[in-house]
Each structure stands twice: as C-alpha cells, then as structure tokens.
Amino acid sequence: MTTPLGSDVARVDGRLKVTGAARYSADHSEDHWAGRLAYAHVVLSTVARGSVRSMNVDAARGAPGVLAVYTPFEPLRIYSASRGETYAPLQDRDVRFRGQVIGLVVAETIEQAREAAALVSAEYDTVPARTTIAAGMPGEPVGGDAEFPAAAAPLLAPGVASIEDALRASAVTVDTTVTQQPQSHVAMEPHSTTAVWQNDHLTVYSGCQGPANYANTLAERVGVSRENVRVISPFVGGGFGSRVPTWGDGPLAAVAARALGRPVKLTLAREQAIVLTGHRPLIEQRVRLGASRDGVLNAVSHECHSEMPVAGGWNEAPAGETTTVLYRTPNLAIEERLVPMDTPATWAMRAPNEAPGMFALETAMDELAVALGMDPVELRLRNDATTVPGTDRGWTSRRLAECYRVGAERFGWADRNPVPGSRIDGEWLVGHGTATAIYPANRSDVPVRMTLRDDGTAVVSTSTPDIGTGTYTMASIVASDALGIPLDRVVAELGDSALPAGTAAVGSRAAGTLAPMIQDAARTLIGEITALAVRTERSPFHGLDPASLTYREGRVEGNGRSATFAEIIDMADLPHIEVTTEGGAGGPGGGGAPEGPVAHGFGAHFCEVRVNRFTGEPRVSRFTTVVDVGQVISARTARSQLVGGVVFGIGGALLETNPFEADTGRFACGNLADYLVAVNADIPSIDVSWIDYADTAFSSAGARGLGELATVGSSAAVGNAVFNATGIRVRDLPITLDKLIT
C-alpha cells in the first residue's frame, strides 16, 4: 500500500461540507425537539461603565411568543468562569463595558425573541470609562511565571550595567514604536449554543475549540457535575481563538433551558459576537535595536503596553515567544504591561502574541537594514540564533536559514531594488519586503481511542474538534499509515466531549499532539490483534508464539498463513477490538522539557506590493512563504493553512481594525460591512512551500503545528514592502491609503 502520509489527498470531510451535510452548531434542530425548541436573544448595555438603575421589560413580556425575560433584577443563576471573563452575566447590576449582557429574552421563535428584546429599555448611572491605553496607564507587568516568563531580569553581557548602556554603546541604533488597534475574530460560523436537559444531564451543541475543556467550564458555570455535561462540536466554522473560552452565551442558554424545561437555542448576531466573544487587544509596542556597522546585533529592547479589560481576557505578551528567541544578541530586555480598560474581554486571536510581536520586531529589523545599507535577508541570517539567547538550549529543528535561501530564490529577491520608490510600473510604485515567521511548537500526551471493526474498518476517536484546519483528514492519514490500510477504511470521530479527552484545537497543537498518539494507539492495537490471533481457537495462528507473527497492511501473517484483522475479529466472535492509549509515548524530545531542546516552527516571507502613485492605494501583487514545520502529514490541508495564514496577515496589514470610540467605548466596526477582511480581490496567488524534514526530536511522528505560523510576520513583510515601494514607513496598522498620500 502506498502511504497517504504527506500526499495531496482530498479532505475526508470535504463532500460533507460542500453538500451541506456537515452540521454546525446552529444547524441542530432535532425532530424530537419539534414544538419544544425555544429561542433566546440577549439584550446589551448601551453605556461603557456604570450600573443599571432600572429596566422596563413589560412590553417585552407581553410580546407575542415570549416565554421569559431575565435581567439582573430577575436573574438566572450563573457562576463566574475560572478563565476568560471575570464576571457572570446578569448576576449584578455593574456595567463593565458597552455591549455587556444585561438581559435575556426567550420566545417560541427566533424572530419573536429578537423583536421582544428590542422592546427592553434600561436606565443607567454612569461614570467615565477608560477606553484608551493612556487612560489606564501605567498598567501591571506581565511575566515572571511559567506561562509568561518574559519579565525576567534583562540579559546583559559581562560588564554592561543596563540595556540603555548597551544601546548607547552600539554603532547603529533604531527606535521603532508601532501601534495596533483591536482586531475581531469574525469567524464565518455564527456563535450558537443549543442546550438540552434530560433529567440532570446537559447536552450542548456548540462550536468550540475544545469540547472537553468547554464541558468542564460549562459544568462549573451552571453548577452541575462534570459527568453530567456533554458538549458536541463535530464541525466548527473557524475559531481563531474566539471559541476557546466558555463565554456567557453558553451558560445563559443552559440555565434558561433548565428553568423552562425545554431546549433553548441562543445564536449571537454578528454585532453581538464581535463584542461578546473576545478580540485581539489594543497594543502599543516600542522596539530598540543596537548593532555594529557590519550588522551584528548588540542590544535588543522590546516594550509593550496591551489592553487588559476589567471584564477579563487574554494576557498579551507579544515579545515572549518572538524577541526572546529569534535573534542572537548579548543584551536583551523585555518589558510588557497590561493596562486596565473598560472594554469587552480580550482573547487570543490567531498567533495571539507572535503576530503583533513580530510586526514590531520585523519592522524594526527592516529599519535597521536601511540604516546599515544592508540587504534585509543578510541582516537576519547574520543574527540567526543557534541557541536561545542567554542559554545553551538549542532547537529540535531550526532550518530558518534554509527557508530564507529557498524563499529568496523562488521569489526572485536578488532583483529587488533597495532604493525606496525607485521601481515604477505605470501608475504604480513597486516594492519588495521580507520578514521572519516563528511560532512555538506544542504537544502534550492525551488519550486516543482506536478501534478495529469486523467490517475491516478502523476508527480513531478523540474529543479534539476540526475547526476547519483539516483534523479529520490529518487523523485519518496518520491512522491509515500506521495501520497500513487504505484511507477510505479509516473513520475519524472528533469533537465530542464524550470521546477521550484530546487536546483543544489551540496553539497549532492538534497535529503535533495527535499524530504520535495515534501512532502509539496503532502499535498497541496491532499487538492486541496479534495476541487475539494466537488465542482464538478458530484462528489459523492459534497456539503460535506471537513473536513469530507479523502485521502488514491490515493482515496478520506467519507460519505460511495470512488473515485480515477483520477475519480474526470475526473468528473470535467479536464486533471489534479497541484500545485507549493514556499518553506517555510520542517519542523523544517533545519541545517542552525544561532543560531539553526548544521547539518552534520557522518561516520566511517575501512580499511584493504595488502602491498607486496618485491615490495611495496599496495592493499586494505577489507573496512567497517557505516554512520549516517538520513532517507535513497532509499536503493539501497544510497548503490551505499556510495560504490562510498569509491572507490573515495581509488582512491585518491593510484592512482589519476595530478601534473603540473614545467617548462611548463602542467598537467602531460592529459588523462585516464595516469590519473589513481580505476578500479574493485583495489577494494574489500565494506561493507556499515547506522544507521536507521530519522533526523526530520533537516527536515520533516528526510533525509540528503550522496553522498559525504563516500569520506571524506576514503583516511585517507587507509593511516593509510598502516602505520599499514608497519610502513611507507606516507604523500604525492597518496601512491605509490615507497614510500613503504625500
């Protein structure tokens, strides 16, 4: 059998998706719920900070089809989350941000619920809200713990008293400050929850990035035992981080369903989801670089101030996984602060720390290359780190230099004109830019169940969902390769908290985690089928030494005989055999041992932009990305993820922004008409490729995650290309035409 590993096979779930047979969270309206399913709609605050003085719900209660109206004055009991939001909706009258849930209306139809919710009115006592970084300064330092260690004391060379001294002693310095307004996840699938109670057992259909984690937190928030909660999420239409926490809408649907004794579906409108399901925080960063005349870094300082809402959210640390590990330098200082603000909760958004951190660092590196008169690629290669600065720890694999060499050749970097504004094509200024991609590679040992059935098929089961990244295909390919059976004889079961608790689909860790665990389950299962073959009386191998038998391509062979695993299972009068691995395998390395090698994915971006000489309109016309991600399991889904990551970066560079209105605390772009994302017309053909090398120091499967890697640095490549085209350095994302009109 030819292995599907690394090949360009079609997605195994592709037909379900293109035919509409794949059901997403809002699609669940089972026949046995007919006449019982109720619909909920939330009511949001219209002030940014203060308290609710009173609410008028009489008109809503009297509206057609309304079953119940809940408010802080007549609440449903919900408990605070241990992560994410720091409050529980409707449990008090405090208003922490504009758009906070202050009411819930439940009705017979979704239209009735929405119309009745519009009839609810509220009066407030308000106080001024902090909606800018300046208003919340100075903030609290990030770091000093296991999750965010970047706040450690500066790394200083012997005899150097401070990072300031190191910068002053450098022959050439640059000082770069960049800003980035909030960005919104805007995944294609709406955020929807359908909650169903059967006695004391709760089943929830909700698109989430970790059904097992979601079930744990949901049980905590509604006050029931974890064993009584099941979360079903087989297909997810994108998450980008917004579907990691258990936001307030899920618990609201659950407690309303319990109170009413019937299933309840709560689907957030797009403008509600933008407010209630997290956003990439407002960030201000300053990077200072000092180098010798020949481009060797002597000092690196990276400071950051990030929005941290009182309502809770993500601890943004843009330098922790980038500036601390990417370039070799004897002097390094990181300072990151979280600034309290009265805004909606923040949360991780695709490459949460790394994308903004690398925009700042790689913009500064480009400025340093200009100041030195050096090729930007040569500058990066000259400072490529062989060990983590300040340690002797190397990497499980680091082929960044090869990515740059291959990418430069594919792109035609040698033809770049280093003089800004010198290349003109009609009414367009043409520029080329480059930047580095880096993202931590993560894996953990999680249980995986694998089953061999008497019909000749195999099933691999884990609660990890497929959020559009291709996990169904990845898991099927690994199982097919490990068992030596055709891909169409493998079934992947995903996205259900009742299955073995796999990793959440976060941090680009699904492939790196599941692939070695599936391999381990297959090895164990092959041992089980061999043992079954020798102890089954009807088997041709009965009584033989198991060591004398071999397994190959779905068959047990030995003593001149052969039988398929399906035949052996049938001979044993069993419907199937199965094993559940509990972790602990996965091979050497792991990328996470405190004293062992560090694991990251790496890449090099090359971008060509065209900027209209008369209107200032920027357009990306070419893009090349080469990555080092270890073993690629599915070429088609890998290419899709890499292209999608670059598109994400282009959107962040040129289009995406959702600033707060300073006086109201409201997002300026509350829907997809106002919040601009890249569409086909904005994106050229994107050339992506990878260094073909299995990282067996990371795991036995050799595969590292890649879903977020291509997002990192791609915005900086666009910005650097814009500078090369125009001579204008834009440090405030996005790069819009008004900033390019001189």
What does the buried/exposed string (b/e) look like for 120-143 if buried means 16 or more CB atoms within 10 Å of the residue's CB?
bebebeeeebbbbbeebeebeebb
Catalytic residue list contains 708? yes
Tokens representing 342? 């009265």
Count the Cβ atoms, other than its own, within 10 Å of residue 234.
20
Of the candidates 410, 417, 416, 404, the one whose C-alpha atom is nearest the C-alpha of residue 378 is: 404
- How far is it, in rounded angstroms, from Cα 568 to Cα 713? 53
Cα 493-499-503 angle, rounded to 5 deg: 90
Q: What is the CB neighbour count within 10 angstroms for residue 412?
A: 13
**CA proximity to 311, closest of 270, 279, 289:** 279
- Torsion angle in degrees (nearest 10) through CA of 41, 47, 53, 56: -40
Assign residue 355 a region: left if phi > 0, alpha if psi is -120 to 50, beta otherwise?
Answer: alpha
What's the half-sphere exposure (Cβ side, CA atoms, 13 Å) at 563?
A: 23
Q: Hey, how many other C-beta atoms are within 10 angstroms of the C-beta on 364?
A: 26
CB burial string 676-689: b at 16+ within 10 A, e below? bbbeeeebeebbbb
Smallest Cα–Cα separation from 304: which of 289, 285, 325? 285
Spatial distance between the Cα atoms of 180 and 282, rounded to a whole number of angstroms: 6
Q: Which of 115, 220, 336, 708 is catalytic?
A: 708
Rounded Cα gap, residues 204 and 605, in angstroms:
41
CB atoms within 10 A of CB 698: 30
Contact (CB, 8 A) for 460 and 492: yes
Place of tokens 């050799």: 702
Which one-letter DSSP state was computed for residue 555? E
Catalytic residue set? 708
